Structure 1
Amino acid sequence: MRNIQYFWRHPLAEQVRAEGRAEGWAEAILRVLQLRQIDVPTPTRDRILASTDPDELATWLDRSHEIADARELFTAPRCPDER
């Protein structure tokens, strides 16, 4: 039992968990865009799925609820005064 507990504290195990979390965030972003019927071009989809940065993915998930074009995920939102 002790070996199993040690494994989950191993850096490799942490890396696997982090990759799984990133994959989950990416899938959530794509799901939101799908439900909103927003087309996601292949390069955009690939960029979302390739990201492993949790802060970046969280930002994209937040933006996915407000954008009209999937490529807008990667640009900073405009200030309300810029309309």
Structure 2
Amino acid sequence: MGTGLSHFRGFVAESFRDEGRAEGRVEGRVEGRGEDILRILAVRGVEVPDEVRQRITGCKDLDVLDVWFERAITASTADAVLGED
């Protein structure tokens, strides 16, 4: 006869899977946003020094990346995207 714990274990395992999927989606959005910023700058002909490229690709804060994305649309320099102009 079962103790009823198998249902609880299944629930816990499913919760971890859901949490992992959500984290994966956020990580994907973060990575994609950094790539979008660099793509916009490249299309616009804005030179991106290696240190700025690394800062953009290394950023894990989606809110910061969203600000940089909006700035990339009109910024004349990579430093202006980061707010350092």
SS class of match (2:45): coil
> How many pairs align?
74
Q: Percent identity?
A: 33
Report Cα offsets for 1:12-69 as digits up to 9, x if no partner. Answer: 3322221111000000000000000011000000000011111101100000011111
Q: Residues 1-83 of structure 1: matches in 2 within 5 Å?
A: 6=14, 8-10=17-19, 12-75=20-83
Supply the RMSD in Å over aligned alpha carbons: 2.3
Gaps of 5+ in 1: 78-83
Gaps of 5+ in 2: 1-9
Pick the structure with greater CA Rg. 2
Once the two structures are TM-superposed, the CA of residue 73 in structure 1 deviates from its matched residue by 1.2
Output the CA distance in 2 between the equivalents of 1:39 and 1:45. 10
